[in-house]
Structure 1
Amino acid sequence: MSSTVGELLDSLPAAATQDERRGWAVACAQALGLGGIAVALGQQLVWFSDETSARLEDLQFVLGQGPSQRIQDETEVRQLPDLGRLLVQQWPQFTAEAEGLGIAALFVWPVRIGAVQAGTMTGYRRTVGPLTEQQVAQGQLVADTLAQHVLSHWPTTHVGNGSGHPGAVDLHRAEVHQATGILSVRLGVSLSEALDRLRARAYASGLSLSDTAHTIIQRELPR
């Protein structure tokens, strides 16, 4: 490992660009012995190291199932060291999709802001096996650091999937919420039902939720 977790925690720039944040997350994942990590706060994906991590979070949001869902008031990491063996009964759709991405193990840390659990940090591996006690503890330090960074920069959040502004936190599902509103008006249904239909459309098409939302929004733009 080129850097220890301790060194990485001290190296995140206060005004990091999106590329710098992505590189920092990649380094953290490697230091923790993971293939990648992603952080979600509520229904917002705010940080991820690679496209596979983002896709895993997307799948859980689309399907409404997976290890990061309904992880409330938990104080320790949720370890799923053998995805196929542990999840095939509980989350069959998610398990099949995750295994299709070559994922063998998943680990979920609670992300806390003060005493409040605000979201999760999910890491994956392509090989089975549990984390060491040190990796569990260091992963929580990374999750807490990310939470504080997001909290510090949330008021100046740049909405969108572009390059962002230095120090800003990108809301990677901003277009999802915009497309949900469009579908709600177009179909005359509630926002909840519109989101369900958007999820179903994304799953059926095989596209990511963000790409599906972007397509819907583009259709509404004047020609």
Structure 2
Amino acid sequence: MAAKYEAQATQRPEAMQPFRQRMAELHRRIEGRHLACARLHRLHALRLQRWYIGDRAALRPVFMAAVAQHLGVDSAAVTLFGRKGDELLVAASDVTARAAHDLEQLIGEGPARDVLDGRDFVTAGGTDLATRWPEYGPALAQLGVHSVVAVPLLSSRLLGALCVFAGVDGLRTEITPATAKVADALANTVLLGAHGTAADGAPQGTLFDDADYLATVHQAVGMVAVQCSCDIDAALALLRARAFADGIAVPEIARRVLEDGYQLC
């Protein structure tokens, strides 16, 4: 369709030329969106395939890990907001991305909040982290994150923010437009393509089944439930209580349960 309108762009009547140009640009934009979506799907499928044919000792790959790999960053997270700006859910690539989100939620400042406040592109690195976010920046640095890029997820409205994190001070210059293209694909294809939206405005889709939790935590909850002969809710409460008592994140306790044989009872 784009090629057709491009071929007709200079044809008569002249009054139709601006329309044809707009249509060509629209279809090229949609083409880019679908290509980005296809790359993410393929990368996620390859990661799942490698995990499935292996010994499956590692955690099952989540979709946001494919997003991070595609962009060449260490971690990535999508935070979705309701129509009133309330947070609906988060999908994170790993423990670091989830911890960065949890810090932002706790402190009340950070890249996703800036996007929600109307900033189209948020970039910060090195000492700029503390300058931009006096509390969040230093806490983020303690996680080993030294660069952040955040862009909005836009469809018919602002759906949320895509935030990417890296351990290096300074990302390549093309990371922001690349992240924006991925955010466009997520907002208009991945998030909305499967099942539309729920009554509360939250986008639905099978690729985000891991949203609002890390697979590590849920696998650890199951293990604790078996070890302590309790139900799932009690096992999750035990994980949270131990994390609070030790002053560490719940995902870290979960990792110790799964990888180090740590027992809560």
Alignment pair present for 1:38 and 2:66: no
Counterpart contact for 1:8–1:24, Cα < 8 Å: no
Distance 1:94 1:137, change over 3 A: same
1:23 and 1:209, CA in 2 relative to 1: closer, same or farther beyond 3 A? closer
Is residue 2:177 matched to residue 1:137?
Answer: yes
Structure richer in helix, relative to its length: 2
Q: Distance in 2 between matches of 1:102 and 1:10?
A: 31
Deviations 1:139-184 (A, max 9, x none): 1111112223223335479xxxxxxx945645517xxxxxxxxxxx
User: Is residue 8–residue 28 contact of structure 1 (8 Å, CA) maintained in 2?
Assistant: no
Q: In structure 1, give the amino acid aligned to 2:91.
A: W
TM-score, normalised on structure 2?
A: 0.51
* AA partner of residue 127 (structure 1): V
Cα separation, partners in 2 of 1:172 and 1:100, compared to 1, 3 Å: same
**Equivalent runs, 1:105-116 vs 2, <5 Å:** 105-114=147-156, 116=157
- CA 89–10 in structure 1, closer or farther in 2 if over 3 Å, else same: closer
Give secondary structure in 2 for the equivalent of 1:69. helix
- Structure 1 pair 145/205, CA: closer, same or farther in 2 (3 Å)? farther
Structure 1 gap segments, 5+ residues each: 158-164, 174-201, 212-223
The letter of the residue matching 1:143 is: A
Match of 1:55 among 99, 102, 119: 99
1:150 corresponds to which of 171, 184, 191: 191
Equivalent pair of 1:81/1:106 in contact (CA under 8 Å):
yes
The number of equivalent residue pairs is 166
Residue 138 of structure 2 is aligned to residue 96 of structure 1: yes
TM-score (norm 1): 0.59
User: 1:1-223, aligned counterparts within 5 Å?
Assistant: 9-13=37-41, 22-42=61-81, 43-71=87-115, 72-75=117-120, 77-82=121-126, 85-114=127-156, 116-133=157-174, 135-148=175-188, 149-152=190-193, 153=195, 155=197, 166-167=206-207, 169-172=209-212, 206-208=247-249
Aligned-partner Cα distance in 2 for 1:105–1:155: 32
SS at match of 2:184: helix
Hey, what's the Cα distance between the residues in 2 that align with 1:108 and 1:168?
19
Aligned to 1:162: none
SS of the equivalent of 1:10 reads: helix
RMSD between superposed Cα atoms in Å: 3.7
From the CA coordinates, give the structure whose radius of gyration is larger. Answer: 2
Q: Distance in 2 between matches of 1:12 and 1:29?
A: 10
Larger relative contact order (Cα-Cα within 8 Å, sequence gap ≥ 6): 1
Quote the offset at 1:62 in angstroms.
Answer: 1.0
**1:9 counterpart letter in structure 2:** C
List, as ranges, runs of 4+ consecutive aligned residues in structure 1 with deviation greater than 6 Å: 202-205
What is the percent sequence identity of the aligned residues?
A: 25
